[in-house]
């Protein structure tokens, strides 16, 4: 039987296959007014198409736990009840198609307050709809970004509470999986890495101090997220720096700590916290980082990074390099990738009645 189309059970949630969609920002939420941060018709059509296409788990894009936690003014959020109600329309449809709905909760830290990527993604000043970014230390991401405001301990505690509140709203919105965003140079990743965290208090310096925020967020979310539902954590396994950054060794160590605090799966990506680094990209270039966590810990993992071919994805799972694969750009190109893969592998997958002619 195909490894890709084996169901995967985490706590009391069974995901029908191992073809998953990672969070990918659409920069299409309302940026002002009462619907700010709420999903639109675009989001419904976008996620509904991938559910009808057989994707087993869809992780809705990074959603800010506060207005200033968004990457851009056009990002989704989960800080009010208007957003909750708008998300319910999406989760109901995903469930109707047999897809498990998940959402990534995020705070973008020093990389906040930028424009849409297709218009250049430049930082936005407050007078242009932006805001002052927050970070563990007053260190700009690069020469384009402003110097962020260094968070106080009280502000850090407030953000921990915002993650818990957002998780509570995610439950009310019908999501069955929550993922905490600890990757790609956003706030939690900034705390983890000595490249971006120069604090000298309880949240900086040693490994234990730099990982404190991540574990406090996990604890706060796990306290409100039901015991029967899984919690994911997305990690950048390396900063791709020769020294002075977060490393694969750190990731393996953190995986054990995260599992002890109630995380059920590590979503393994890389990079995003240091500008100008050279990343050796290629098909499956991030899979070895997931494979190492799987080999050296008991925590399930998902692999990402230029996974595009059916045979490639099947081999990753058959070789036990990961427990699931997350297809990003390929699912943007081909919303029904999962159903096409099932046909190629001779596996069964749910097909909407309206698409019976495609079987």
Catalytic residues: 186
How is residue 151 annotated by DSSP? P
Give me the residue label for tokens 């319910």.
Answer: 88
- Are 198 and 204 contacting, i.e. CB atoms less than 8 angstroms apart? yes
Question: How many angstroms separate the first and last alpha carbons of the chain?
Answer: 19
CA distance 332 to 316: 21
Is residue 232 within 8 Å of 265, Cβ to Cβ? yes
List of residues 6+ apart from 161 with CB closer than 8 A: 220
CB–CB of 8/323 below 8 Å? yes
Closest CA to 326 of 59, 108, 125: 59
Phi, psi angle pair for 103, to nearest 5°: -145, 145
User: Are 163 and 220 spatial neighbours (Cβ–Cβ below 8 Å)?
Assistant: yes
Dig out the tokens for 281 from the structure: 């990209």
Question: Quick one: which of 36, 27, 143, 139 has its CA closest to 81?
Answer: 36
Contact 121, 99 (CB under 8 A): no
For residues 206 and 149, is the Cβ–Cβ distance under 8 A?
no
**Other C-beta atoms within 10 Å of 279: how many?**
13
DSSP letter at 94 equals H
Residue 317 CA to residue 141 CA, distance in Å, equals 35
d(CA 183, CA 250): 13
């Amino acid at each position: 039987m195909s490894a890709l189309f084996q169901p995967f059970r985490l706590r009391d949630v069974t995901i029908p296959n191992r073809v998953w969609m990672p969070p990918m920002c659409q920069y299409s939420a309302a940026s002002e007014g009462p619907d700010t941060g709420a999903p639109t018709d675009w989001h419904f059509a976008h996620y509904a198409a991938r559910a009808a296409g057989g994707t087993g788990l869809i992780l809705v894009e990074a959603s800010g736990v506060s207005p200033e936690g968004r990457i851009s003014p056009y990002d989704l959020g989960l800080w009010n009840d208007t957003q909750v109600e708008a998300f319910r329309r999406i989760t109901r449809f995903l469930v109707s198609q047999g897809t498990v709905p998940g959402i990534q909760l995020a705070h973008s830290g020093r990389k906040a307050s930028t424009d849409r990527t297709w218009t250049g993604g430049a930082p936005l000043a407050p007078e242009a709809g932006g805001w002052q970014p927050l970070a563990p230390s007053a260190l700009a991401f690069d020469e384009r970004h402003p110097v962020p405001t260094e968070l106080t301990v009280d502000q850090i505690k407030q953000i921990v509470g915002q993650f818990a509140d957002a998780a509570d709203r995610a439950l009310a919105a019908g999501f069955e999986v929550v993922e905490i965003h600890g990757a790609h140079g956003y706030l939690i990743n900034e705390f983890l890495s000595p490249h971006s965290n120069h604090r000298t208090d309880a949240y900086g310096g040693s490994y234990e101090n730099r990982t404190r925020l991540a574990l406090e967020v996990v604890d706060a979310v796990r306290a409100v997220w039901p015991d029967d539902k899984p919690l994911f954590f997305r990690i950048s396994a390396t900063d791709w720096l020769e020294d002075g950054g977060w490393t694969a060794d750190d990731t393996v160590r953190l995986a054990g700590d995260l599992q002890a605090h109630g995380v059920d799966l590590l979503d393994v990506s890389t990079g995003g916290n240091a500008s100008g680094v050279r990343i050796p990209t290629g098909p499956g270039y991030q899979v070895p980082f997931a494979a190492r966590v799987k080999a050296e810990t008991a925590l399930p993992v998902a692999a990402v990074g230029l996974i595009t071919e059916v045979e490639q994805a099947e081999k990753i799972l058959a070789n036990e390099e990961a427990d699931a694969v997350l297809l990003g750009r390929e699912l943007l190109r081909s919303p029904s990738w999962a159903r096409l893969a099932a046909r190629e592998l001779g596996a069964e997958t749910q097909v909407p009645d309206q698409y019976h002619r495609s079987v």
